[in-house]
Structure 1
Amino acid sequence: MIRGGKARCSMRGSQIRLLTQITLRTEACCPCDMALILSVALVAGPLNFRKEVSFAQAPADAYTGKACDALLMQSHLQYDAPGAEFEQINPTAIFSLVGPELSLVEEEFERQVSHGPEIVSSIGRYLREGGGKRVRPALLLLAAKAVCGSAGSSAVRMATVMEMLHTATLVHDDIIDEARVRRGRPSVNATWGNDITVLMGDWLYMTAFDITLRERSFEILDVLTSMTRLMTEGELIQLTMIGNSGITESEHLDIVRRKTAYMFSACAEVGAIVAKASPEERRALGRYGLSVGIAFQLIDDLLDFVSTEDKLGKPVANDLREGKLTLPLIYLLEEGVHEHRRMIETVIAEQGFASVAREELVGLLRENSALDRARAQARLYAGEATEALDIFPPSDYVEALRSVPRFILERDM
């Protein structure tokens, strides 16, 4: 279906082979400018790319739209017709729809850090080797594909930008929190020290915005500058709340929106912008990302109590050790039991569980339904995220986006 000059397309079999050959013989650079070509496709189930492609074939100094898009449309692509696998809420199946583009994001991240001084290259490699789910760039790419069926060079560049900005926030957060472990190994600040680490975070921020400037889009810059300001405000507000056992649910959710959810919203919204989405589609994806981000953080807060250090890659109950009260504890304190408040304030004062057993506190959270209430809140926001996608016609890209909040609710790591 063609709407507003954009192709809503799903392809398989001979259609893919035909369109690949046509595409490789055109001068089209933006996927959304290819509506006339893609309109020959019938709606038949989207493509699941499996072939690895490489930015190494593009010029070393810049990835132009033509170079990137040609790589993404190489012939001899293998494909599957996904569908039923989403019922299992498998993150591998969800993100396989943007697998080739995520590989290009990894390569672009590596290319950027390798062009910096040796210390930047070393830390950049260390950060990439630490792994991560790449949820944020994947959301941007899926959002773009949900709008126009493709994610070209601009989407790949902006997905790289979002991964850089997210990495910068993690680097700075570890300094603020004095964290020694990140993803199961020494944090950057534990390895290189705070002075170098804070500058590495700054480098990532500035490089991300330098890449963004090349898009020549005030819309994208407006989204990213607003997001960065809100994240900084969220961190500042949270720091003023350290050790405050009187924090309310609304105050905590405000911090969650600023520190975490607005980045998810920005990812989805920027994906919409690069795909030339309508204002309605852009707003819907922004709402989707915001709700996904809140659900993600609320589940993260739950896992901080009930998961294990091996799964989390960091000490459990770390937020409480640092004096940060999250939703389960806020709900527990709403019961007004003096002994509960005393236990929590003791853990904060001791910065650990020397006098209060973590298992005892988790038991109280279960007995008083605090964990269930927090999960119910996460489920509410996950539902809002799913509803925001109702304006989009069915496609596997939209279904993948719908599956993300369901996966978040069920994740255990």
Structure 2
Amino acid sequence: MSDLQIATAKEVFDLLRDDLAAIEREFVSQSQSQVEVITEIGRYLIAGGGKRIRPLLLLLSAKALGFEGDSRIRLGSVVEMLHTATLVHDDIIDEADTRRGRPSSNTTWGNSKCVLAGDWLYMQAFNVALQEQNFHILDLLISLTQQMVEGELLQMQKLGHLINEEEYFDLIFRKTACLFKVSMQLGATLAGAPDAIEAQLGEYGRNLGLAFQIIDDVLDLTATESTLGKPVASDLREGKATLAVIHALERGTGADREAIRTVLADRSFQRVTHSQILEILGRHGSLEYAHDTARAYAEAARLSIADLPDTDAKRALLWVPAYVVDRDR
């Protein structure tokens, strides 16, 4: 790693503010449909906000390699549309009532309309991407979509069952890290980068995405509902075993394992409480283990871009992993 100073949050925001605003406008524009309910759902989803970290990564990847063309705005809206479509479908599958502190879209419009609106957003994202007339971009997006769908189906098959760490990392790569990886690869593609550089930036996205999801899963267990904007411990109630839980299962007593299995099977905290699960995780250092694993992936992300040219965009990319690991929501 060079002696390049890591950017501050303000410096990153100042660097990308205009581009992110342009992506937001593009997202709004591309979410318009002649069918009013699609436009309504799109507006509602956009108004819900979000971290916009995927378009941020695409912008930084392109900027780090010197690309400043309009395509970065279009493709930034594409990755955010794809992400938003997955959230719509996830809420339907998980029967979620809230998202980011508001009623989920399916609570407002119903499952049938929302699954179709999610499908429309997927297709609109590909429609926008098609404007680039670049087969490699389409290859990346098609493979991404297949992996995300496969990840969702695999997770559904494993609900209520115990999984090991290898299965967990496969799931979170497909469901989350793959989109981080592709966002970075798209920026490299726009810049005309050689395969080795695209792979290098893709590795940054993969490692960052794994760290991001591990922290998401820890926050699901430990944060408050007001901070998360949704009920706490949703994963356990949905029968999902995440990294800290898997760690405790492998190291706990017979009673510990039985308590965790009960919650996963019941998909509720009626027989075993949330506080009892937290006590088990705390006793075995499982939350710290998950945090440490996320930090290791964050550091791997930083190391993967060590030999990129020293630019403001690289400084920003060096900042993102700490933001991902240290956030509280």
TM normalised by structure 1 equals 0.77
The alignment status of 1:298 with 2:220, answered yes or no, reads: no
Q: Give the counterpart of 2:61 among 143, 147, 152.
A: 143
Question: Counterparts in 2 of 1:95-114, with a 5 A limit?
Answer: 95-114=13-32
CA-atom RMSD, angstroms? 1.4
Q: Deviations over 1:376-408 (max 9, x none)?
A: 111111111111101211111001011111111
Q: Which residue of 1 aligns with 2:69?
A: 152
Q: Percent identity, aligned pairs only?
A: 47
Q: Deviations over 1:129-176 (max 9, x none)?
A: 10101000011001100011x432101000000000000000000011
**Which residue identity is paired with 1:348?**
L
Query: 1:95·1:138 contact (CA, 8 Å) conserved in 2?
Result: no
Q: Which residue of 2 aligns with 1:13?
A: none
Q: Which residue of 2 aligns with 1:184?
A: 101
**Which residue identity is paired with 1:200?**
A
Higher relative contact order (CA 8 A, sep 6+): 2
Question: Counterparts in 2 of 1:166-245, with a 5 A limit?
Answer: 166-245=83-162
Q: Which residue of 2 aligns with 1:281?
A: 197
Query: 1:269·1:282 contact (CA, 8 Å) conserved in 2?
Result: yes
Unpaired segments of 5 or more residues in structure 1? 1-82
* Partner Cα distance (2:252, 2:224) in 1: 29
Report the Cα offset of residue 84 of structure 1: 7.0
Q: Which has the larger radius of gyration?
A: 1
* Partner Cα distance (1:100, 1:151) in 2: 12
The alignment status of 1:267 with 2:161, answered yes or no, reads: no
* Partner Cα distance (1:94, 1:174) in 2: 31
Q: Give the counterpart of 1:132 among 47, 50, 57.
A: 50
The alignment status of 1:162 with 2:62, answered yes or no, reads: no
Question: Structure 1 residues 370-379 or 113-122, which shifts more?
Answer: 113-122
Query: 2:61·2:187 contact (CA, 8 Å) conserved in 1?
Result: yes
Query: 2:6·2:316 contact (CA, 8 Å) conserved in 1?
Result: no
SS of 1:412's equivalent in the other structure is: coil
Query: 1:144·1:271 contact (CA, 8 Å) conserved in 2?
Result: yes
Question: Counterparts in 2 of 1:326-405, with a 5 A limit?
Answer: 326-405=242-321
Report the Cα offset of residue 215 of structure 1: 0.4
Query: 1:249·1:327 contact (CA, 8 Å) conserved in 2?
Result: yes
Query: 2:161·2:264 contact (CA, 8 Å) conserved in 1?
Result: no
Q: Deviations over 1:199-250 (max 9, x none)?
A: 00000000000111110001101111111111111111111110002x1000
SS of 2:306's equivalent in the other structure is: helix
Q: Which residue of 1 aligns with 2:237?
A: 321
Q: Deviations over 1:83-136 (max 9, x none)?
A: 9782xx53x542331111111111111112224421111111101110101000
* Partner Cα distance (1:345, 1:162) in 2: 36
TM normalised by structure 2 equals 0.96
Query: 1:85·1:93 contact (CA, 8 Å) conserved in 2?
Result: no
